Amino acid sequence: ASEYATIEPLRFTQDSALAMNRLRDVLAGWPGARIIDQSPDYIYVQFETRWLRFVDDCEFLLDPAARVIHVRSAARIGRRDFGVNRARVEAIRRRADLR
């Protein structure tokens, strides 16, 4: 199992559309981030690392019934990223402050 399987979804208490808009705003302003695809319930963003310019993929999927946004984040190259993706998701969680 991947270490990313343990990343908790982003929980929100506000309206689901507001939560996704807040998340989208945070991602749009994130250094090295580029939103590739989005819909009302989905965001696919690529992050380019500062060092060596690796690209990491990150997806956010809204589950309004559970009041969460599921997250998948992974490096494209290699098996280990030394916790970079997990740390980024946790920083996004703090900055979005969806509770």
Helix (H, G, I), strand (E, B) or coil at 86: helix
For 58, the 3-state DSSP assignment is strand
Number of domains in the chain: 1
d(CA 11, CA 66): 9
Residue range of the domain that includes 13: 3-96
Instruction: Say what the pLDDT of residue 6 is.
Output: 73
> Residue 23 sits in a domain of what CATH number?
3.30.310.80
- Ranges 2-11, 32-41, 45-54, 79-88, most confident: 32-41
Query: How do residues 26-59 score in pLDDT, each as one tens digit?
Result: 999 999 999 999 999 999 999 987 777 788 899 9
Q: Per-residue pLDDT averaged across 9-22, rounded?
A: 95
pLDDT of residue 80: 61
CA 61, 94, 49, 36 dihedral sign is positive
